[in-house]
Amino acid sequence: MILVDLDALASCLTSPACLVTQTTSGLIIGMLLFLVAVGLTLIFGVLKVVNFSHGAFYMFGAYFAMTAYQLTGSFALAILSGAVGTALLGLIFERAFMSRVYGRDVLMQLLVCYAFVLIFDDVVRMIWGPEFRSMGMPAAFQVPPLFIAGGVVPPYYLLLIGVALAAAVVLGLGLARSRIGKVIRAAAHNPGMVSALGINTGLIYGGVFALGGMLAGLAGALAAPVRSLTPGMGFSVLIESFIVTVIGGMGSILGALIGALLIGLIRSFGSLGFPLFTEGLMYLFMVIVLVSRPTGLFGKEVA
């Protein structure tokens, strides 16, 4: 029972091998968190609702990927079905339920999402059973790990970081440069004017929700080979990605990236120095950011 183990932390910080290992593990936690958090922040930025059931999409992404992998044996198809399946789910969820509570009490929005957290967890329990499941590492990545400066880096981690980074770049450029991106940003700013210009805002809202769901599903699918799958796995991810968006600033993509990486590194290095209080460190960090900058590191004033 050691609460604080600063010696372990210090000896890791001075050893390049340990630094590399901990940094990569921090990076993959951070990248997965980023994919979930950026969807959360995007949905909040455009639709002005906090998708409290966002963790469920991460969970569904993982389970979809596992099923597709077991059926087809193709890892690419598994990732694809995780992403596409959750995108469809997001679209249906938004059009059928969330679209009814826009502009209503925050309480109502939270309640509708809370209802779906309960329902989705039970649906997963019904279909895939309550026990822990695992997808297993795909054959292509069952190769010996790479050694960088003496630190162990499984090749799959590199793929994971690469895919997440690519998603970040595509998303960032797409929102900044493309026509659709401009329409989305306009809809976030003034939906009334956008719809007066003859653009179907309902479609944009559904699309953004589907995109957010897809990113969370992609994260779940990417995490499936390295994490165990259980109903309720979405909730801790939801809490962490909310911490990320609060630290980075609601509605900011860059903020989500920085926040996610910070949380990832805090988790991986914190687990050395404060083995029992790693989660507490994240909350502590969030509290410090909130007290000094209530809108987060990159957040604008939220009306």
Which residues in the 100-139 window bind other proteins by CB under 8 A?
A: 100-101, 106-108, 110-112, 114-119, 121-123, 125-126
Least gap, CB of 108 to other proteins (angstroms): 5
* Site for other proteins, residues 256 to 295, rule: CB under 8 A: 276-277, 279-280, 283, 286-287, 290-291, 294
Of residues 17, 97, 155, 181, which one binds other proteins by CB under 8 A? 97
Q: Which one of the spans 86-94, 137-145, 186-194, 237-245 is the region binding other proteins (CB under 8 A)?
A: 237-245
149-208 residues near other proteins, rule: CB under 8 A: none
Q: Helix, strand or coil for residue 1? A: coil
Contact call for residues 272 and 22 (beta carbons, < 8 A): yes
Q: Measured from the CB of residue 111, what is the shortest distance to other proteins in angstroms?
A: 4
Q: Are 28 and 160 in contact (CB under 8 A)?
A: yes
Interface with other proteins in residues 5-64 (CB under 8 A): 50
Select from 173-181, 197-205, 243-251, 260-268 the region that touches other proteins (CB under 8 A). Answer: 243-251
* Residue choice 29, 33, 168, 243 for contact with other proteins (CB under 8 A): 243
Shortest spacing between CB 276 and other proteins, in angstroms: 4
**Cβ of residue 300: shortest distance to other proteins, in angstroms?**
14
Interaction of residue 246 with other proteins, rule CB under 8 A? yes
In the complex with other proteins, the residue whose CB is nearer, 56 or 258, is: 56
Q: What is the binding site for other proteins (CB under 8 A)?
A: 1, 50, 97, 100-101, 106-108, 110-112, 114-119, 121-123, 125-126, 239, 242-243, 246, 250, 276-277, 279-280, 283, 286-287, 290-291, 294, 302
